[in-house]
Amino acid sequence: MSAGPAEGSGRRRRQLAAGLSTVRERMAAACSGAGRDPAELTLTVVTKFFPASDVRLLAGLGVTHVGENRHQEARAKVDECADVPGLWWHFVGGLQSNKAAAVAAYADVVESLDRTKLVAPLQRGAQDRGRELDVLVQVGLDPPGVGHRNGADPDEVPALAEAVLAAGSLRLRGVMGVAPLGADPRPAFERLAEVGRVVRGLAPQASWMSAGMSADLEQAVRCGATHVRIGSAILGERPRIE
């Protein structure tokens, strides 16, 4: 065995460990600043654009929740990590209805349900797999008038939630949101929290609020996030090929 790759992976492991420890400290400080119990906050590490070898290293560092945003890449990584025990895969990206059943075949959580059309294929995929799939409704947090909305209109969320509740193999767990770029994220996260309360009124177990990324995790925690989704602060900058 040559020393090269092992040394390289030792270096990468140290980088990831350092990123993780910084993020865990930020999470703990944010919880303490908000008077919240850190045990209420789950870290999902978003590994998109990074190789399965990073997922393995992260798993060795205690990470159990990983996120991906593109079906093909996610599918391949899930396969490459099939022997890693205890990983939960979160699908956090835009979902095409013709891919939704395939995503439900490997994802443990789909965080990006944003229209009714996705419910039937997700239900079918989960049923074929023979297990329940956790689902979050993605709420659009861009101000009205922005052409492309990342997520469902807040007004449409109750109907979407009802559709998920009516699907036997889907388990409604709460809401997810991405703050608009280049603006104060606080009003967006407050809106998300409010929609989250409405959803919880329909289904008490739907208590998750997935919000907060590398740049805005503190604001999200202050607004009640139960799950933060962190990529670059742990893995480094992604290649600019999005």
Ligand X SMILES: *Cc1c(COP(=O)(O)O)cnc(C)c1O
Query: Judged by CB under 6 A, which stretch of 58-66, 158-166, 207-215, 218-226 contacts ligand X?
Result: 207-215
Question: According to the binding rule CB under 6 A, does residue 178 interact with ligand X?
Answer: yes
Orientation of helix 157-165 relative to helix 119-129, angle to 10°: 30
> Are the beta carbons of 104 and 124 closer than 8 angstroms?
yes
Would you say 171 or 229 has its CB closer to ligand X? 229
Would you say 109 or 169 has its CB closer to ligand X? 109
Would you say 128 or 184 has its CB closer to ligand X? 184
Hey, which residues between 134 and 173 contact ligand X (CB under 6 A)? none
> Are the beta carbons of 47 and 54 closer than 8 angstroms?
yes
Question: According to the binding rule CB under 6 A, does residue 70 interact with ligand X?
Answer: no
Question: Which one of 34, 165, 202, 213 is in contact with ligand X (CB under 6 A)?
Answer: 213
What 3 state SS string does 128-161 have? HHCCCEEEEEEECCCCCCCCCCCCECHHHHHHHH
Q: Which helix (H) or strand (E) holds 46?
A: strand 42-46
Residue nearest to ligand X (CB): 231
Length of the chain: 242
The DSSP secondary-structure symbol of 239 reads: P
Q: How many residues bind ligand X (CB under 6 A)?
A: 14
Question: According to the binding rule CB under 6 A, does residue 92 interact with ligand X?
Answer: yes
Would you say 124 or 186 has its CB closer to ligand X? 186
Q: Is 109 helix (H, G, I), strand (E, B) or coil?
A: strand
Dist. CA 193–CA 239, nearest whole Å: 32
> Which of these, 117, 79, 82, lies nearest to 100 by C-alpha position?
117
Q: Smallest distance, Å, CB 157 to ligand X?
A: 17
Hey, which residues between 114 and 133 contact ligand X (CB under 6 A)? none
Query: Judged by CB under 6 A, which stretch of 81-89, 153-161, 209-217, 219-227 contacts ligand X?
Result: 209-217
Torsion of CA 184, 188, 189, 194, to 10 degrees: 150
Question: Which residues have CB under 8 Å from 43's CB, separation 6+?
Answer: 23, 24, 27, 63, 65, 227, 228, 230
Would you say 102 or 213 has its CB closer to ligand X? 213
Q: Smallest distance, Å, CB 136 to ligand X?
A: 11
Question: According to the binding rule CB under 6 A, does residue 221 interact with ligand X?
Answer: no
Question: Which one of 69, 123, 169, 226 is in contact with ligand X (CB under 6 A)?
Answer: 69
Query: Judged by CB under 6 A, which stretch of 83-91, 165-173, 193-201, 228-236 contacts ligand X?
Result: 228-236
Site residues (vs ligand X, CB under 6 A): 46, 48, 69, 92-93, 178, 213-215, 229-233
